[in-house]
A and B are shown apart, each in its own frame.
Chain A
Amino acid sequence: MNAIADAFANARGQGRAALVGYLTAYDPDEINSLERLYAACEAGLDVLELGVPFSDPTADGPGIQAAMVRALSAGATLDGVLRLAAAVRERFATPIVLFSYANPLLRRAPEVFARAAGAGVDGLLVVDLPPEHGAEFRSAAAAAGLAWVPLVAPTTPDDRIGRVVADATGFVYAVTLKGVTGSALGVEQADRAAALTEQLRRIRAHTDRPIAAGFGVRTPADVRALAAAADGVVVGTALIEAAQISTADMAELVQALRAATERPA
């Protein structure tokens, strides 16, 4: 049983959705990034998504893009990102999913996968690698013992969902909106909330893996709206913005989001 599945099962046993938190590695620099990662795990993340900085993050909005600029200016490298992962692993059991664009991994493939596993990374999510090209990484990642996390978008037609989720060995990442990370989710509108629930139901019909919903999830209200239908909820941009104020602000937000994952009995 891998650590990711354990984390989701554990949350489910506690009557709540798992809280998945994204932070860009090296934002704003190596030392402060590590402090943020420690604080986020300490405050109750169930799964940590560790973002590999990339020069051209086309799937990300201004918030994460700015984090990547800070990280690269501070000298982020893939080796450095794996060093951070190893440091987190030494102190916390929280499963770590590496969230990356294809090119930084491709540049170091295939040896990077075994090194990531050695650093304590549990899974891999490559945002611009659709299933049509996933085989290039998937088998090497699997051989290294890394779980694979595919993305399903709101635009993914029903007859394609099966193909996308077939690759999942960690969880399935349900992208909640047509847009980049950090856009407005709009769950306060009843029809939007209903559409999200319907989207999750469509995915559920194709997989037994846990489903985590993300993109645009910022507030405890957003988390509450999704926690009933999703196995996990992913928060990224909001954590990064809070961390820019202070690490304590970010930790406080993690606690509030975690409390919002509780499902009404």
Chain B
Amino acid sequence: MSGQLQFGEFGGRYVAETLMPAVAQLGEAWEAAWKDPAFHAEYDRIMAQYVGRPSPVSVAPRLAAALGARRILLKREDLNHTGSHKINNCVGQALLAKRMGKTRIIAETGAGQHGVATATVCAYFGLPCVVYMGAVDVERQELNVFRMRLLGAQVVPVTAGSATLKDAINEALRDWVAHVDDTHYIIGSVMGPDPYPTMVREFHRVIGTEARAQCLQLDGALPDVVLACVGGGSNAMGIFSGFVDDADVALVGAEAAGEGLDGKHAATMARGAVGVYHGMRSIVLQDDDGQLQEAHSISAGLDYPGVGPEHAHLRTIGRARYVSITDAQALQALDLVARTEGIIVALETAHAFAALPELVAEDADRTFLVNVSGRGDKDMHTVMAQREADVT
């Protein structure tokens, strides 16, 4: 398995030799765990009793009316414990870390959602936790930083580079190289070296499995379009995995176009090229010399110059399509969903909603299922600042 590319021409294990044995060991441990009914039983138990699964599917009639769409359904990952989908993966990886005898957990975080979810499961399992976070993100997500510290995690601000998500990952990788014997690195998205992209997708598969059954129960039919935001792409892979074999269901990912594709953005799919980065071969934002470009998005969770290798593959084979959404479009969508449905979504999630008008214009007579990957409480500071800037 090692050495192969898992997703067409994408994936792989592009890490320094020091980490290769750890990555291989993780791959073997994960495969064994995922075949073990006892592991599944424990994961399912925690999902039900602690995370609060299954998360419901809500019907969004007022949003549908506002957009002129036939029907819109919402998969409510925002109602999970800690307020986003990220906890699914953290529970799974923490269980695996314990099974492997690791005694220390590290993680990176962008918006802070993955950091909070990691700090939460570490408190739950009694594991020490270090979270690396770009200094810029520490600033714009101070509430989540406080949350992580309250949960007992050590938050380390990273000032190198653009001081955002990619630099936090760099620093977490350096930590892992130095403490590879006792430490497990909980990567927060479907990215990094194999087995992470596959493993993280599987820990989020529950989103798609539940949503598919819930749609059938509600409507007696599958949705026509499944829509999710994509940074690294974990919530999208989670919900896509439930529908990827249903050829008639369109899969759409919304990435961050920031200030616009000609300005500062994080639109990896629209503007990136094949590269090797953070342990994987995928699509990355880079210049002609192979230097990574700094991404920009109003949403810290989408502020990443790469994308999970399976998304790159799904696009290459034409199974999924990806659209780019600007900061302004996302803010507008956040507003609309709040007023029509009484749900304040995360800025990341708002990108998925912002893709709806274009999709409705193509064909309104469809059922759209949107993955509400997280709630927006953490972003109120950012949205308020934006409002003030707009007024002045």
Contacts and interface: CB of A to CB of B under 8 A. Distances in A.
Contact of B290 (A103, A153, A180): A103
A151 to B, nearest CB: 5
B289 A77 contact: yes
B13 A130 contact: yes
B261 to A, nearest CB: 21
A164 B178 contact: no
Interface in B135-169: 160-161, 166-167
Interface residues of B, number: 39
A125 to B, nearest CB: 11
Contact of A104 (B21, B179, B273, B291): B291
Contact of A78 (B16, B167, B277, B289): B289
B13 A132 contact: yes
Nearest to A151: B17
A154 interface: yes
Contacts of B170: 56-58
A155 interface: yes
A107 B275 contact: yes
Contact of B275 (A53, A106, A157, A183): A106
Interface in A152-185: 152-157, 160, 164, 175, 178-180, 183
B364 interface: no
A239 to B, nearest CB: 21
Contacts of B21: 153, 155-157, 160
B276 A128 contact: yes
Interface string B259-293: 00000000000000111111100001010111110
B3 interface: yes
B14 A102 contact: yes
Instruction: Pick the most buried of B16, B166, B173, B180: most chain A CB atoms within 10 A of its CB.
Output: B16
Given A58-B174, A133-B3, A178-B178, A156 B17 contact: yes
Mostly, the A contact residues are loop
A65 interface: yes
A107 B290 contact: yes
B2 interface: yes
B291 to A, nearest CB: 4
B103 interface: no
Nearest to A59: B16
A105 B291 CA distance: 10
Contacts of B382: none
A197 B15 CA distance: 25
Given A56-B277, A103-B290, A130 B178 contact: no
Instruction: Pick the most buried of A53, A131, A133, A151: most chain B CB atoms within 10 A of its CB.
Output: A133
A78 B290 contact: yes
B22 interface: yes
A61 interface: yes
A8 to B, nearest CB: 21
A178 B290 contact: no
Interface in B1-48: 2-3, 12-22
A39 interface: no
A99 interface: no
A78 to B, nearest CB: 6
A153 B286 CA distance: 29
Nearest to B279: A128
A259 interface: no
A127 interface: yes
B17 A103 contact: no
A107 B15 CA distance: 18
B249 interface: no
A19 to B, nearest CB: 23
Instruction: Pick the most buried of B20, B178, B292: most chain A CB atoms within 10 A of its CB.
Output: B20
Interface of B: 2-3, 12-22, 160-161, 166-167, 170, 173-174, 177-181, 273-279, 284, 286, 288-292
Interface of A: 53-59, 61, 65, 69, 72, 77-78, 101-108, 127-133, 150-157, 160, 164, 175, 178-180, 183
11 contacts: A56-B170, A77-B289, A105-B290, A106-B274, A128-B279, A132-B12, A153-B17, A153-B21, A156-B20, A160-B20, A179-B178
Q: Which 3 A-B pairs have the closest CB atoms?
A: A132-B3, A107-B290, A104-B290
